[in-house]
Structure 1
Amino acid sequence: MTDEEIAHAEQTATTPVARLAVVLAAAHAAREEAMRGLLLEHLDFAAGTVTLDGHPQRMGTLTRTAMRAWLAERKARRPHTLNRHVLVSQQTAGTTRPVSNYFLKRQLTLHGVSLARIRADRVLGEALATGADPLHLTVLFDLSPATAVKYAELARRLLHGSFDQQPNPGH
């Protein structure tokens, strides 16, 4: 992502729920479906983990802070909800359903912030930082092997300054 895109995401994510979505995409490469499906049982503050798509991940300070801010707002706005999803809205507070696809779009995408782009930037950043190992990317982010190889190949091209050359599928 460009510095301008990062600044725009920071300026746009002014509510606790928007900040949480950006943090989950940026720190954990969480997909929107994973955010929508995240349950309160998937949070373990004592152990410092969040389980996304069935994969426990360390909850760093940024995630912990954003999660606590959103949970405080959630409790203040909807103190009696029985909905176990972390993300709840006015429409889902009285149900057990996850928020709609539109919920996160309304928070960010309609304002020019792409959670998919933030997620992709996180995966590419990890590939660059860890030597472009597709197995590592597959395990860490639950990527398909083909997708992990694409990220690893892009990272290798960036690391070796061969971005303008076409990749060699035999290597």
Structure 2
Amino acid sequence: MWIRIVRHGGPRRRPRSTTTVRNQADSALKLLIALVGIHALYSYQARALPLTAIDFTRGRLTLGDIDHPLDAFTEQAAVDYIHLRHQRWPHTRNPHVFISSQTAHTRAPVTTGWMQPLLRGLPVTARKLREDRILEEAAVTGAEPQHLCAVFNITPETELRYTRFFHPRPHGQRRRIRLQHGDIVTDHHAHLLAAIM
């Protein structure tokens, strides 16, 4: 975005501060990682998340059948991003949490073209981040199928993709490799969150 400046009788242009751009990108990235990596939203759900889904008064994140308590990291990330969002686009009527210069004057959600540059350079994709969150929950809760389906609003068929890693199999070695892989992904998730805090 270019800002028009009148100086010495003629228009000049200068780019917005790169610090401002970086702050907005960092805030958006933190919130996106919280929504995908903590609450296990699909990336399309995060991109189209309405502002009304984040209820600071009740401390809840609600979207369809999803109703999660707001953890401290997600709450602070949402506060920071929404503050910067309001500073840059104080008069926008876009109902979605995430907006861009292309969508601020519409009611459309941001696209994958907005999201992909944010995630570029991270050690995992949004899909892997979400999968890791579900694997982490499965490991902590003993891979209880009903719990995973209720918390993450997934089907029993999808749930089997995650719980099968934690149930005994005839080939014990293969099972251990699967678990180690899950642990590695979980470590990536922890490092990723630590890096942006």
Q: TM-score, normalised by structure 2?
A: 0.71
Distance 2:131 2:168 in 1: 16
- Structure 2: gaps of 5 or more residues: 1-24, 177-197
Which AA in structure 1 matches 2:109?
Answer: P
Count of aligned residue pairs for this structure pair: 151
Contact 1:84 1:96 (8 Å CA) reproduced = yes
Contact 2:35 2:46 in 1 (8 A): yes
- Find the counterpart in structure 2 of residue 92 from structure 1: 103
Q: Which has the higher contact order (CA 8 A, sep 6+)?
A: 1
Check whether the contact 2:65–2:153 (CA below 8 A) recurs between aligned residues. no
Q: Structure 1 residues 80, 163: CA separation in 2 closer, same or farther (over 3 Å shift)?
A: farther
Aligned counterparts of 1:73 and 1:154: Cα–Cα separation in 2: 41
SS of the residue 2:61 aligns to: strand
| TM-score after normalising by structure 1 | 0.81
Measured at CA, do residues 53 and 32 of structure 1 come closer, stay the same or move farther in structure 2, by a change above 3 Å? farther
- The offset of 1:77, in angstroms, is 1.2
| CA displacement, residues 107-161 of structure 1 (integer Å, 9 cap, x when unaligned) | 10x3244111111110000001011112211111111211101201113359xx9
Shift of 1:30: 1.1
2:80 partner amino acid: A
CA contact (8 A) 1:128 1:156 kept: no
Indicate the residue corresponding to 1:156 in structure 2.
167
Question: Between the two proteins, what is the percent identity of the paired residues?
Answer: 31
Shift in alpha-carbon separation, 1:29–1:122, aligned structure 2, 3 A: same
Residue 23 in structure 1 maps to residue 34 in structure 2: yes
Alignment check: 8 A CA contact 1:43 1:50 kept: yes
Give the conservation status (yes or no) of the 8 Å contact 2:165–2:175.
no
- Given the alignment, which residue of 76, 79, 84 partners 2:87? 76
Q: Which residue of 2 aligns with 1:107?
A: 118
Question: What is aligned with 1:34?
Answer: 45
CA contact (8 A) 2:40 2:134 kept: yes
Bigger share in strand = 2
Q: What's 2:135 paired with?
A: 124
Higher Cα radius of gyration: 2
4+ aligned runs moved over 4 Å, structure 1: none
The one-letter code matched in structure 1 to 2:127 is A
Give the match's secondary structure for 2:139.
Answer: helix
TM-align CA RMSD:
2.2
Distance 2:88 2:168 in 1: 48
Q: Shift in Å at residue 53 of structure 1?
A: 4.2
- The range that moved more, 47-56 or 20-29, is 47-56
The amino acid of 1:55's aligned partner reads: I
Are the aligned partners of 1:157 and 1:163 in contact in 2 as well (CA < 8 Å)? Answer: no
